[in-house]
Amino acid sequence: MRDPLTLYKLIILYMLSKVDFPLTTSQISDFILEKEYTTFLSLQQAIGELTDTGLITSQTIRNRTHLSITPEGLETLNFFRGNINEGIRADVDTFFRQNEFSLRNDVSILANYHKNASGEYSAHLIAKDHGIDLVNITLSVPSEETAISICDNWQSKNQDIYQYLIRQLFS
């Protein structure tokens, strides 16, 4: 391709088209930078331009940005798919075959918090499977430190908590 930035955009669109869940900028960056397709700054520029043109959407949850392809992005990718080298497509396909479970799990466990009008904090915890909420809990807590701790612990303990809830509520 004459314009490398266009290729980077197509790679991002191709990656997002291969999954039925959002990918984080970190997940995309890890793959693209590990393969040395481009630099971090060029990748950030490509993501920014894709977002600005509406080919992908972005949602920031705490400190992670989740990216999804839009119908317009999918249409664009289908039109220009042939411009992505077969070797690059094979690399992406292999990456997803090897990592889909961990990638899906990484974006299926969400935790965020915010300050309420009362001055307390709410920790909002979600565990998803194939886009469906398995658990969706909001806890009110007195301090920001507690809310942060709850959100951090949700990442590592969500499965145990889900199993505990199931045992307690269905027995």
Q: Give tens-digit pLDDT for 45-103.
A: 999 999 999 999 998 876 788 899 999 999 999 999 889 999 999 999 999 888 877 77
In this predicted model, which residue has the larger pLDDT, 2 or 25?
A: 25
pLDDT at 168 over 70: yes
Q: Are 50 and 12 in contact (CB under 8 A)?
A: yes
Phi-psi region of 131 (alpha: psi -120 to 50; beta: other; left: phi over 0): left
Where residue 108 falls among pLDDT bands split at 50, 70, 90? confident
**DSSP H or E segment with residue 135:** strand 132-141
18 shares its domain with 90: yes
State whether 89 and 34 are in the same domain: yes
Q: For 130-157, what is each residue's pLDDT tens digit?
A: 778 889 999 999 999 999 999 989 988 9
Q: What is the residue-averaged pLDDT of the chain?
A: 89
133: Cα separation from own chain's centroid: 15
Provide the pLDDT for residue 2: 67
Q: How many domains does the structure of the chain reveal? A: 2
DSSP 157: H
Same domain, 20 and 37: yes
Work out the average pLDDT over 16-21.
89
The radius of gyration computed from the CA coordinates of the chain, to the nearest angstrom, equals 19
Per the CB < 8 A criterion, the answer to whether 27 and 106 are in contact is yes
Domain region containing 150: 108-169
